[in-house]
Structure 1
């Protein structure tokens, strides 16, 4: 009974983590500027890694593999936000500004021409 519960919880964690990764990937492609893309990628990537590696840790049980997965998770939790921050600072140093207001795609019929 306990093993079935662990399998269900870990499977749900990995499934939700995979969904967050896909949503983040779609956000990176769809958002208009580097800052919103960083937000979409950084937030969902961190949460997806937490859920996926957490589900794998539940599947591994108490072993050396769990310790290794924990080290991988800690590495990801420190490097992903740091990389997002460094990319945002580099974009600001390069002179890029965040887009403000409503961004409408071309050809949506709302232009004043």
Structure 2
């Protein structure tokens, strides 16, 4: 069973909508990954994220897709790249990641409630 948290603890995690505006290969990453540039709206701006999603998603199908990102984790260095936000997804038994999906387009930067 998972550890229980309070609603106040959950509210500290900023989950926001963003649109992928650029996708690049990330050959220096230990596991196959992409470097993503994500537009998180006027208030937050454009942020970088590394995502291990190369097996299930092509660069073309990611471009323009809205994703859900954690925007208030500290930046994390992965090889020679600084990942500024965490792009969320569901980890399958084989280790592949299926991106969290937004059912309808929302303004970039919108917060998940």
Instruction: Identify the TM-score tier after normalising by the shorter chain.
Output: under 0.3
TM-score (norm 1): 0.23
Computing the radius of gyration over CA atoms, which structure comes out larger, 1 or 2?
Answer: 1
TM-score (norm 2): 0.23
- As a proportion of its length, which structure holds more helix? 1
